[in-house]
């Protein structure tokens, strides 16, 4: 059966069975934040709140080892022997309780990290065997705007199973063959009329979303306002350059590479980085092409709404999840910036 109704009380049993085969990452509450953690029996699930973090961390960890190295002295007095060893990950995973915006964010990762020109060996090793069980949203937050950027509260793209919340359970729909196999491990009843009722709730959520942004106009006006530093200083005035927006964003994928260890042994790490940091583009010579905060915010917004669409058939790299708005310590709102660009008028300047 492709669509069933699963009682909330039966979810734990389903995850227990999934966890026999794969590492199941599920949302739970830690220090007030909702984060994905490996599921074990007895784990306290957080099924209703929007996760604070995005599921990107499961296929693209905050930091990971790219290689290990060692340098051993040469007994004959010659140059030391140096070796570097590749450390590719192995992971069979299920992301349980991703939201459509988070899954859409992985779509950006797929385009960047796994394309005809470049395949990131670490990302693709995790991604190829990661399955996704998505929660459709029936209650958008005030900061949600996924429908503005091509998504939606019931968007099933990229998911293996969709769960639509309804009362004391979920209508569960298999989207892929892998999803069907996972669903066969769940205890459920025929969905019947509940499928229509659950999808109607999601449709109501869609209708409650804000007025769409005019993406084409944002792209057109970005060029016009690019050199208006007064405009960008106003937009970036409150920003602290802390980078929380980038770390929580489901599609931000910039990283740093650093070595950690001693001269004789250690590892090379890849860690999340963020484009709001001064050091992101500071060159060793002292030159920094984006030395000012306003220039960095301009690049960040430009990348989301202009640069990425230019190279990816118009697709916007912002997924409208609102995580950057919710967690910004100084209330910078990317929607307001996008709107300001949209309404930027040369005649008034």
What's the CA gap between 229 and 244, in Å, rounded?
A: 23
When the beta carbons of 197 and 229 are compared against another protein, the nearer one is: 229
What whole-number distance in Å separates Cα of residue 145 and Cα of residue 205?
11
Q: Find the shortest distance in angstroms from Cβ 171 to another protein.
A: 38
**Least separation in angstroms between CB 163 and another protein:** 32
Closest CA to 234 of 293, 299, 190: 293
Q: How far is the CB of 118 from another protein (least distance, A)?
A: 5
* Least Å from the CB of residue 266 to another protein: 5
Exposure string of 47-69, with b = 16+ CB inside 10 Å and e = fewer, is beebbbbbbbbbbbbeebbbeeb
Give the other-Cβ count within 10 Å of 196's Cβ: 10
Kindly compute the dihedral angle of the four CA atoms of residues 254, 96, 157, 255, in this order, to the nearest 10 degrees: 0
Q: Indicate the residue among 12 and 261 with the shorter CB distance to another protein.
A: 261
Cβ neighbours for 128, distance < 8 A, ≥ 6 positions apart: none
Q: How far is the CB of 254 from another protein (least distance, A)?
A: 4
Q: Give the H/E segment covering residue 2.
A: none
Residues that bind another protein (CB under 8 A): 66-67, 69, 71, 78-84, 86, 88, 112-113, 117-122, 226-227, 253-259, 261-263, 266, 268, 270, 273, 275, 280-285, 287, 289-290, 295, 299, 302-303, 306-308, 310-311
Nearer to another protein, 121 or 216 (CB): 121
Nearer to another protein, 33 or 254 (CB): 254
CB of 69 to another protein, least distance (A): 4
CA pair distance 48, 208, nearest whole angstrom: 18
Q: From CA 105, how far away is CA 158, in angstroms rounded?
A: 10
Q: Cβ of residue 109: shortest distance to another protein, in angstroms?
A: 10
Element (H, E) at 284: none
Q: How many other β-carbons are positioned within 10 Å of the β-carbon of residue 23? A: 15
Query: Which CB, 71 or 139, lies closer to another protein?
Result: 71
Q: Which is nearer to another protein, 118 or 331 (CB)?
A: 118
**Of 26 and 294, which CB lies nearer to another protein in the complex structure?**
294
């Amino acid at each position: 059966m492709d669509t069933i109704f699963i009682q909330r009380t039966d979810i734990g049993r389903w995850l227990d069975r999934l966890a026999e085969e794969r590492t199941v990452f599920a949302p739970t509450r830690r220090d007030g934040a909702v984060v994905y953690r490996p599921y074990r029996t007895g784990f306290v699930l957080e099924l209703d709140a929007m996760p604070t973090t995005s599921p990107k961390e499961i296929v693209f960890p905050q930091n990971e080892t790219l290689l290990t190295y060692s340098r051993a002295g040469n007994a004959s007095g010659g140059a030391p022997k140096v070796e570097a060893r590749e450390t590719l990950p192995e992971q069979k995973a299920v992301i349980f309780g991703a939201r459509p915006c988070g899954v859409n964010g992985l779509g950006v990762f797929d385009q960047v990290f796994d394309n005809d020109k470049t395949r990131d060996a670490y990302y693709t090793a995790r991604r190829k065997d990661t399955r996704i069980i998505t929660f459709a949203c029936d209650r958008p937050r005030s900061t949600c705007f996924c429908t503005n950027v091509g998504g939606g509260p019931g968007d099933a793209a990229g998911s293996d199973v969709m769960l639509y919340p309804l009362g004391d359970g979920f209508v569960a729909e298999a989207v892929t063959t892998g999803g069907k196999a996972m669903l066969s491990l769940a205890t459920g009843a025929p969905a019947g009329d509940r499928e229509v009722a659950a999808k109607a709730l999601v449709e109501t959520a869609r209708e409650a979303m804000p007025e769409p942004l005019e993406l084409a106009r944002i792209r057109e006006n970005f060029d016009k306002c690019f050199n208006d530093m007064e405009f960008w200083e106003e937009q970036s005035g409150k920003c602290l350059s802390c980078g929380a927006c980038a770390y929580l964003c489901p599609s931000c994928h910039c990283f740093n590479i650093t070595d950690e260890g001693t001269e004789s042994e250690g590892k090379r790490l890849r860690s999340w980085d963020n484009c709001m940091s001064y050091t992101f583009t500071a060159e060793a010579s002292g030159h920094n092409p984006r030395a000012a905060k306003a220039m960095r915010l301009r690049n960040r917004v430009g990348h989301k709404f202009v640069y990425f669409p230019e190279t990816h058939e118009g697709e916007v790299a912002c997924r409208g999840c609102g995580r950057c708005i919710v967690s910004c310590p100084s209330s910078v709102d990317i929607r307001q910036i996008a709107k300001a660009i949209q309404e930027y008028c040369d005649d008034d300047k």
